[in-house]
Structure 1
Amino acid sequence: MKRISDQMEEMLNKQMTREAYQAQVYLSYGAWAESHSFQGIATFLYGHMQEEREHMFKILKYILDRGGEVKVEAIKAAPVHPKDIGECLNNILDHEIQNSKEIDKIVKLAHEESDWATFNFGQWFVKEQIEEETLINGVIDKYNLASNQIKDNHNLYDLDKDLATAPQEATTPREETI
């Protein structure tokens, strides 16, 4: 028995496709970084590629669990390679912000429909997007320090090494304890 509206089913399917696209962007940018000898940055981006695929599958399973129909659609090509690491990171942040806006629409519709199961499901993604934006903003801050504050970019090597072992998530204020 289907326990989500047709409109919600459509929005969730579109979000599933967006998550697959996000994975393609991370894959493409990771390959670009690796081809430019930024192995640490590539490792970081590949890790996020896998995370986006997990998000896609989480949505797929949710649609099925709620009795909906999954529609696997074509994924558009990833954007052209960035000109440098700064553009790469800023493009990723823009993608994550857009993704957050789309998730907000799902949560809003769930609230309007009193679909509390989907509202609760969506909260996980809201929290995840806060973490993603916080994490990428932090990486951009480090990149800016490494590339703009030191003449000739000597610290990009250290940034690259740091990102090879960097966590794939960020601590958000609601998780902080005193």
Structure 2
Amino acid sequence: MKDIVRQKLSINVEIMDMLNKQIEKEAVSSSAYLAMASWCDHNGLENSAAFFYEQSSEEREHMLKIFKFINDNGGTAYAPEVKSVMHEFNSLEEIFEAALDQEIEITQSIHSLVQKCRKLNDFTTEYFLQWFVNEQMEEEQLMRRVLELFDLMRDEPLKYIDERIPGLREE
């Protein structure tokens, strides 16, 4: 009976399963950004902490957007389980490098979803995912801009880099 119900969904079953995996990836990202925010808070980097709290919130919003899309299209979204994220870092630069790596991984996952939608002629989901494609491009660019600050201001105190973090989001 379960297979018959899944066949009558308006969302493709393979795509739904991939979207549920994406929900989990977004949840992991949200938790990882919380851990990064905590490290920054603990080390007196207020602007960077605020930046990562905002990133965590955005990732949760992304997760919920996908969650709702699945349910709105007759599928079943599953609440993700986050097992562990890294909490220990050696530097702020290391955190931003990890954040960029994380964003690249999410981008690749979104691109795989879009490719699968094209293969299966799932135009509805592909259209939905275009927002994420654009969002990921912006997220990667933002992390790269921050890492450029480290290159440009290598000899400056960390405090000066931290002070410039809020302005990068507005650019």
- Does structure 2 conserve the Cα–Cα contact (< 8 Å) formed by 1:135 and 1:169? no
List 4+ stretches of structure 1 deviating above 6 A. none
CA shift for structure 1 position 167: 5.2
**Which TM-score applies when normalising by structure 1?**
0.87
Asked if 1 retains the 8 angstrom alpha-carbon contact of 2:103 and 2:136, the reply is yes
Residue 12 of structure 2 aligns with which residue?
Answer: 5
In the alignment, the residues of structure 2 paired with residue 45 and residue 73 of structure 1 have an alpha-carbon distance, to the nearest angstrom, of 21
5+ unaligned residues in a row in structure 1: which ranges?
A: 171-178
CA contact (8 A) 2:35 2:85 kept: yes
Pairs aligned (count): 164
Given that 1:86 and 1:143 are in contact with CA atoms closer than 8 Å, whether structure 2 keeps it comes out as yes
Report the TM-score, using the length of structure 2 for normalisation: 0.91
**Correspondence 1:1-178 to 2 at 5 A:** 2-146=9-153, 148=154, 150=155, 153-154=156-157, 156-163=158-165, 165-166=166-167, 168=169
d(CA) in 2 for partners of 1:56 and 1:124?
13
Answer yes or no: is the 8 Å Cα contact 2:146–2:168 preserved in 1.
no
**Offset of residue 62 of structure 1:** 0.4
**How much is the aligned-residue C-alpha RMSD, in angstroms?**
1.4
Question: Alpha-carbon deviation of 1:169?
Answer: 6.5
Do 1:132 and 1:169's aligned partners in 2 also have CA atoms closer than 8 Å? no
Query: Which consecutive residues of structure 2, in runs of 5 or more, have no partner in the other structure?
Result: 1-7
